[in-house]
Amino acid sequence: MKVLIPGGLRSYTERSEVEASGATLGAVLAELERLYPGIRFRVIDEQDQIRRHIRIFVNGAQLRDLAQPLKASDELVIVQALSGG
């Protein structure tokens, strides 16, 4: 499936769009980690939850559940919240 990568994580992938596979959101993130070591820790915390400053959308709908089933035709978008003053 197509995965759109935010600017803050492109140092891992070196591009804004990558391909990854997996039956669930968690499996896709594990595949991204296999392909781009270190990226998963920037998205998932030590409690195996999506970090609070990260939003993940699949086909335009926000997901928070790593067990959410996905299809190969889905489009996954990772978004990092901006902070500061």
Instruction: Report the greatest alpha carbon distance in the chain.
Output: 39
Each residue's pLDDT, cut to its tens digit, for the chain (85 residues) gives 999 999 999 999 999 999 999 999 999 999 999 999 999 999 999 999 999 999 999 999 999 999 999 999 999 999 998 765 5
Q: Which residues, in sequence order, are CB contacts of 37 under 8 Å at separation 6+?
A: 12
Phi-psi region of 30 (alpha: psi -120 to 50; beta: other; left: phi over 0): alpha
- Write down all domains in the chain, each with its CATH number in brackets: 2-80 (3.10.20.30)
